[in-house]
C-alpha cells in the first residue's frame, strides 16, 4: 500500500471512529434523559394508582388482618371503576402501555387492560436496572430488544411483613425508538460532514507531507549521484530547510567517502538492510562489470553467489566469486562486500617490486659507473702516449681505443640512467601530446607505408612533457620499426576511472613470449644498429610518473603497449 493510501486510511479511520463514538455518546445521553423522564412518569402513575386504590378501599376493615386482606383483595377485584381510573392514568403518558394491580401472590386483580385480569403478573426487566446498566447494555436493550420494562410499587400495611398489593407500570421502548430515529439521522449527517472534512484535510495534509518527502528523496538521489543542487524556486519550511542542510552535510561526507572508495584498489560495495546496493566505487565497476547503485542484490550478476551468505548473516573471507575473492561483513543496518582481484594484486606487487629493485640497483651501480669511468679516461690518455712511442702498433692500439670509446659510451648512458631525475611536472593533455608525436613522425610513417590513426579524447595528466614525449616517441618508433613492409599503427588516449590510458598498437612482427620479459632491460636489443636504451628509458619515465606499462604481443600479428597514468584531479 502506498504511503499516501496508508496515511489517508489512518486519518479516515480515526475520524470515523471518533464520529461513531460521538454518535453513540449522544444517543446514550438521549436514552438516559428518556429513561429518567419515563421512570419519573411511571412512578407518578404508580403513585396515582395507589391513591385511587386506597380511596376505593378506604375505611373497609374486618376483624382480623387476614380477613381484612381478603376483603381488600375481593373489593379491588370486583371494583368496576378502578380499571377505568387505571386506563385514564395510562392515557396521560405516551410511553406507559399498561398499569396493573396484583395481590401478594402475583395474580392481577385490576388492570388498564381488561384481558389481564385474573392472570399472573408478567415479570419484565426493571426500568431502574436499565438506567443503572452500562451504556452498551443499555443501548442494545433499548434499540434492539423487543421487551417492555416495568416499574413496581408494593403496597403493604405495618402489621404484615409482605406487601398486600403490587402495582406494576409497563413502559414500552418502541416510542423511544421513534423519538431517537430522527436524532440519530441528524447526528449521522453531522458525522458524515465531519468525515468529509477529515478526508479533505487528510488529502491536503498528505499532499504537503508527501511533497516534502518526495523532495527529500530527490535530494538524496542527487547526493548519491553527486550532482549540484538545483536552483530553488520556492521557500522551504523551516523544518524542511533544517533537514535539507543536514542532508547537504551528509552529502559532503558521502562524496568524500565515495572518492576514498574510488581510490581503493579493491572494490567495496555497501548494501542496506533490504539488500539494496547503496554505494560502490569505480573499482567495483572495473572488477565486476555492470553494477549500479539502487539495484537489489538479486539483480546483480554475482548476486546469486552471495545470496546464501546474506541469508546466513555470518561474515566470510576470501570467498571465491567469479575469478575474484570476496569478503562479506555485516553491520547493523547493512552489509559490506569487498572484492579483490588476486591476479591484479600480484601484478601490482611485482611492478612495485621491480621499481624498488630498480631504485636499489641504481643506488649501487651509480658509484660503480664512476669508478669505471675514471680508469677509462686514464687508459685513453695512456693509449695516445703509447701510439706516439710505438708507431708500429698504431693499428692495434686504434682497435683498443675504439673498444675503450664504446665502453665509455656505455658507462655514460648508464650514468645518465642512474642520475636522480627531478620531474618538471605541469598539466598536460595526453591526447594532444600523442597528436604532436604522430605529426612529428608522419613523414617517416609515409615513407614506410604505415597507416596511422589516432582516436580518443582529451585526458589531463600532470607530467614532465619532455620526458613523457621521449618515452612515447620510443614506443611509437619501435612500432614503426617493427613494420618494415608497412602496416597499421593505431594510437588512442582515453579516460578509464582515475587513469589516463594510452594505447599504441602495431601490426608488426610481434615479440616472442620468451623475449617479452627482456625488452625493458637496458641495452637489450634485437636490432643490428639498436641501442637497447629506448624501452628502458620509457619504463623509467612511466615509473617516475606513478604509472604502469603493459605489453601484449602476438607473433606476426603485432604488439600493443598500454600505459596507465593517473588523471590530474580537477581542482573544481
Ligand X SMILES: Nc1ncnc2c1ncn2[C@@H]1O[C@H](COP(=O)(O)OP(=O)(O)O)[C@@H](O)[C@H]1O
Binding site for ligand X (CB under 6 A): 474, 478-479, 482, 506, 508-511, 519, 524-527, 530-532, 534-536, 559
Tell me how far the alpha carbon of residue 405 is from its chain's centroid. 74
Among 173, 534, 547, 558, binds Mg ion (CB under 5 A): 534
Q: Where are the strands (E) in 251-379, listed by range?
A: 267-272, 277-280, 316-321, 324-331, 334-340
- Partner whose footprint covers residue 505, from Mg ion, ligand X, none (CB < 5 to 8 Å by kind): none
Please classify residue 98 by burial: count the beta carbons closer than 10 Å to its beta carbon, then call 0-12 exposed, 13-18 middle and 19+ buried.
Answer: buried
Nearest distance in Å: CB 486, ligand X: 14
Among ligand X, Mg ion, none, residue 525 binds (CB under 5-8 Å by kind)? ligand X
Supply the DSSP string of 363-409, one letter for each residue: HHHHHHHHHHHHHHHHHHHHHHHHHHH-GGGHHHHHHHHHHHHHHHH
Of 236 and 530, the one with the shorter C-beta distance to Mg ion is 530
| Residue 527 binds which of ligand X, Mg ion, none (CB < 5-8 A, kind-dependent) | ligand X
The least distance separating ligand X from the CB of residue 413, rounded to whole angstroms, comes to: 12
Pairing verdict, β 548-554 and 460-464? unpaired
3-state SS class at 100:
strand
The pairs formed by 322-329 with CB atoms below 8 angstroms and a separation of 24 or more are 322/288, 324/287, 324/288
In whole angstroms, the minimum distance from the beta carbon of 402 to ligand X comes to 21
Q: How far is the CB of 533 from Mg ion (least distance, A)?
A: 7
Q: Give the residue nearest to ligand X (CB).
A: 534
Q: From Mg ion, ligand X, none, which one binds at residue 168 (CB under 5 to 8 Å depending on kind)?
A: none
478 binds Mg ion (CB under 5 A): yes
Beta bridge partners of 272: 334
Q: Which is nearer to Mg ion, 100 or 478 (CB)?
A: 478
Longest CA pairwise span in the chain (Å):
193
Stretch that binds Mg ion, among 163-171, 329-337, 367-375, 526-534 (CB under 5 A): 526-534
Residue 511: CB atoms within 10 A of its CB come to 21
Closest approach of Cβ 509 to ligand X, in Å? 5
Stretch that binds Mg ion, among 63-71, 107-115, 346-354, 534-542 (CB under 5 A): 534-542
Binding-site partner at residue 524 among ligand X, Mg ion, none, CB < 5 to 8 Å by type: ligand X
296 forms bridges with which residues in the sheet?
276
Supply the minimum distance, in Å, between the C-beta of residue 411 and Mg ion: 20
Closest separation in Å from C-beta 446 to ligand X: 19
The H-or-E segment that residue 103 falls in is strand 96-103
E-state strands within 161-230 = 165-171
State which residue, 52 or 478, has the beta carbon closest to ligand X.
478
From the list ligand X, Mg ion, none, partner contacted by residue 526 (C-beta under 5 to 8 A by kind): ligand X
Stretch that binds Mg ion, among 15-23, 57-65, 79-87, 474-482 (CB under 5 A): 474-482
Residue 108: C-alpha distances to residues 59, 183, 546 (Å)? 23, 38, 119
Specify whether the backbone of 454 is left (phi greater than 0), alpha (psi in -120 to 50) or beta.
beta
For residue 38, the partner it binds in Mg ion, ligand X, none, with Cβ less than 5 to 8 A by kind, is none
Among Mg ion, ligand X, none, partner that 245 touches (CB below 5 to 8 angstroms by kind): none
CA dist 345 to 122, 290, 534, Å?
Answer: 102, 21, 28
Nearer to ligand X, 227 or 528 (CB): 528
C-alpha cell at 67: 380477613
Binding region for Mg ion (CB under 5 A): 478, 534
Amino acid at each position: 500500500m502506498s504511503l499516501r493510501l496508508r496515511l489517508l486510511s489512518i486519518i479516515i479511520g480515526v475520524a470515523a471512529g471518533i464520529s461513531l463514538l460521538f454518535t453513540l455518546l449522544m444517543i446514550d445521553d438521549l436514552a438516559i434523559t428518556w429513561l429518567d423522564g419515563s421512570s419519573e412518569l411511571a412512578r407518578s402513575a404508580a403513585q396515582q394508582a395507589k391513591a385511587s386504590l386506597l380511596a376505593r378501599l378506604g375505611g373497609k376493615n374486618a376483624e382480623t388482618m387476614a380477613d381484612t386482606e381478603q376483603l381488600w383483595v375481593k373489593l379491588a377485584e370486583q371494583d368496576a371503576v378502578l380499571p377505568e381510573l387505571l386506563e385514564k392514568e395510562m392515557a396521560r403518558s405516551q410511553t406507559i402501555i399498561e398499569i396493573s394491580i396484583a395481590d401478594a401472590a402475583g395474580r392481577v386483580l385490576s388492570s388498564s387492560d381488561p384481558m389481564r385480569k385474573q392472570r399472573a403478573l408478567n415479570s419484565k426487566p426493571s426500568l431502574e436496572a436499565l438506567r443503572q446498566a452500562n451504556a452498551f447494555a443499555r443501548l442494545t436493550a433499548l434499540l434492539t430488544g423487543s421487551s417492555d420494562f416495568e416499574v413496581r410499587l408494593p403496597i403493604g400495611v405495618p402489621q404484615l411483613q409482605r406487601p398486600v398489593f403490587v402495582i406494576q407500570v409497563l413502559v414500552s421502548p418502541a416510542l423511544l425508538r421513534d423519538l431517537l430515529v430522527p436524532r440519530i439521522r441528524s447526528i449521522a449527517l453531522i458525522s458524515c460532514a465531519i468525515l468529509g472534512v477529515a478526508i479533505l484535510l487528510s488529502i491536503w495534509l498528505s499532499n504537503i507531507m508527501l511533497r516534502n518527502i518526495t523532495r527529500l528523496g530527490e535530494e538524496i538521489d542527487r547526493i548519491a549521484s553527486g550532482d549540484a543542487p538545483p536552483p530553488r524556486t520556492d521557500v522551504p519550511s523551516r523544518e524542511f530547510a533544517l533537514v535539507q542542510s543536514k542532508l547537504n552535510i551528509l552529502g559532503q561526507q558521502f562524496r568524500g567517502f565515495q572518492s576514498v572508495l574510488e581510490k581503493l584498489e579493491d572494490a567495496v560495495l555497501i548494501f542496506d538492510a533490504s539488500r539494496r546496493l547503496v554505494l560502490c566505487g569505480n573499482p567495483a565497476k572495473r572488477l565486476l562489470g555492470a553494477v549500479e547503485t539502487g539495484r537489489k542484490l538479486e539483480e546483480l550478476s554475482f548476486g546469486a553467489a552471495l545470496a546464501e551468505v546474506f541469508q546466513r548473516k555470518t561474515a566470510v573471507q576470501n570467498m571465491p566469486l567469479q575469478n575474484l575473492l570476496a569478503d562479506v561483513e555485516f553491520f547493523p543496518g547493512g552489509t559490506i562486500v569487498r572484492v579483490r582481484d588476486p591476479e591484479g594484486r600480484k601484478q601490482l606487487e611485482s611492478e612495485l617490486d621491480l621499481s624498488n629493485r630498480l631504485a636499489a640497483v641504481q643506488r649501487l651501480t651509480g658509484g660503480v659507473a664512476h669508478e669505471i669511468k675514471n680508469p677509462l679516461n686514464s687508459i685513453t690518455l695512456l693509449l695516445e702516449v703509447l701510439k706516439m712511442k710505438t708507431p708500429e702498433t698504431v693499428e692495434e692500439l686504434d682497435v683498443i681505443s675504439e673498444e675503450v670509446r664504446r665502453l665509455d659510451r656505455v658507462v655514460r648512458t648508464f650514468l645518465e640512467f642512474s642520475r636522480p631525475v627531478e620531474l618538471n611536472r605541469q598539466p598536460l593533455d595526453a591526447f594532444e601530446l600523442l597528436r604532436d608525436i604522430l605529426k612529428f613522425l608522419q613523414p617517416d610513417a609515409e615513407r614506410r607505408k604505415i597507416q596511422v590513426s589516432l582516436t580518443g579524447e582529451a585526458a589531463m595528466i600532470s607530467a614532465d612533457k619532455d620526458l613523457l614525449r621521449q618515452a612515447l616517441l620510443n614506443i611509437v618508433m619501435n612500432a614503426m620499426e617493427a613494420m618494415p613492409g608497412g602496416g597499421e599503427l593505431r594510437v588512442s588516449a582515453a579516460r578509464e576511472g582515475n587513469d589516463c590510458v594510452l594505447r599504441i598498437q602495431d601490426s608488426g612482427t610481434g615479440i616472442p613470449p620468451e623475449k617479452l620479459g627482456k625488452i625493458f632491460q637496458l641495452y637489450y636489443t634485437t636490432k643490428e644498429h639498436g641501442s637497447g636504451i629506448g624501452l628502458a628509458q620509457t619504463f623509467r619515465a612511466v615509473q617516475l610518473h606513478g604509472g604502469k606499462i603493459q605489453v601484449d604481443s602476438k607473433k606476426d600479428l603485432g604488439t600493443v603497449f598500454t600505459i596507465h597514468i593517473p588523471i590530474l584531479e580537477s581542482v573544481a
